Amino acid sequence: MLLSSSPFPSSPWYTVDQAARRVSNGRLTYQYGGGYLHNGDGISITRFEDAHTGENYAYGFDGQYNYLMRMQTAEITAVCDLVRARTEACMRLFGAKSAYTDYCEMLEKAELDAVFILTAPGTHVPFTLKALAMGKHVLLQKPMATNMDDARTIAAAVRVAGVKCIIEPSSNSPLDPDVAQLRQLVRAGVLGDILWFSLGVTGPTTYGPALGMNPYGQAAFYAEDSGGFLFDLPYAPANIVSVLGGCQSVMAYASISVGEHHIVPEAEYDKFLAAATDPDAANYWDVVVDLPRTQRVRMEAVDNAYSLYEMDGGVVGACHVGRIYHPVLPGSGGGSLQIFGTEGNLIFGAGYSASIISTLPRPVGGACSRRRSVSTSIPAASTTLVTWSSRHP
């Protein structure tokens, strides 16, 4: 199907994440690690109290309830899921105080300050707007929404309610320290005039669970209102606009390339939770990738999307997001954003968060001078400042 060109702002994640900056202003520690209880229906409700002021804050991480349960300034006051056994498991494993099977009832009755919305994408907008209308802070997992109108509606509701909303994860966004630094360098001219860019997501160099479609989660990954693979992998378009800025228009071709799949039945998830006893070993993903995929499902959402971007200033580039089913050659896996300019290139990946190859030295006073060829890299999973070194004297 051919999607018509339309205005595309810098990023729907940008505005809402900006509003959440004050949430993590040093009063609370960002916890991130493995082991979590997460599924297509569950919602956790959390109360956060600032140890210094007594004020309640919303603060989020990617469903790591085992970390949350150990925080002195927070408690899980309620959980909600359509399957009661899953809420019971959350109470048993992570110390949730109460459980509900009705979301609205939970919002009305539970004592809470913040809502974590970890449900399938089709529920994100109504669940978020309901929580905001009741004055609750919100952590909303990606995708924020599956169209710009809904994203703007959420952003407007956040401002009206005067609460905090975090769209998570926020990697590859303007709040990511590495990305913010790279954007400043590009603006300072280390690449010269931008000629073009490309981003093509591929996959691993060996056979394994990262190939093909998700092993479970029909509502989250296969249903029509999930938005498809592009919305499960928003890091790609977010990366483009976070580094290069706003976009004037996008032309795209999107399709369903593989219509039938097999996934692990939902009943296996319930079996896993029933047997789980250690909150630090309750990550279903570690198990589900090796389980038999016996449930047949139809792909109702886009799994193959090719987009042509025209950025502010006229730079043109392409982005492709799709699944592969067999590995690629060593050294070529993953796919990443690559930006090419008259004075240098910016390459994401290849063992680093990003690398710059440029004929210009490190910018001084916001500008670059010529005559030296330099290269620099930001180590993966690091926020170390870029250091520049001359390749040629």
Does residue 288 lie within any of the structural domains? no
Domain boundary (168, 189, 210) is at: 168
286 band by pLDDT with thresholds 50, 70 and 90: confident
3-class SS letters over 350-366: CCEEEEEEECCCCCECC
| Mean per-residue pLDDT, 148-155 | 94
**Per-residue model confidence as pLDDT tens digits over 326-360:** 998 887 766 789 999 999 999 987 777 788 888 87
Residues with Cβ within 8 Å of 170's Cβ and at least 6 positions away in sequence, in order, are 13, 17, 176
Which of residues 149, 168, 187 is at a domain's end? 168
Domain count of the fold of the chain:
2
- pTM to 2 decimal places: 0.73
Whether residue 4 is contained in a domain is answered as: no
Mean pLDDT in residue range 187-204? 91
DSSP assignment, residue 143? P
Query: Where is the domain boundary, 168, 191, 218?
Result: 168
Starting from the edge strand earliest in sequence, which strands make up the sheet with 165-168, in order?
99-100, 74-80, 43-48, 114-117, 137-141, 165-168
| Weakest-pLDDT range from 3-12, 233-242, 370-379 | 3-12
Instruction: Tell me whether residue 377 is in a domain.
Output: yes
Question: pLDDT at position 191, please?
Answer: 94
* pLDDT of 104 over the 90 cut: yes
- Same domain? For 341 and 362 the reply is yes
Contact by Cβ (8 Å): 86, 41:
yes
Q: Which amino acid is at 268?
A: E
* Mean pLDDT, rounded, of the chain: 75
- The domain of 370 spans 177-259+300-390
d(Cα 70, Cα 29) in Å, to the nearest integer? 12
Contact 251/5 with Cβ under 8 angstroms? yes
Cβ atoms 46, 40 nearer than 8 A? no
In a domain, residue 368? The reply is yes
Question: Which of the four pLDDT bands, split at 50, 70 and 90, describes residue 64?
Answer: low
* Residue 267 located in a structural domain: no
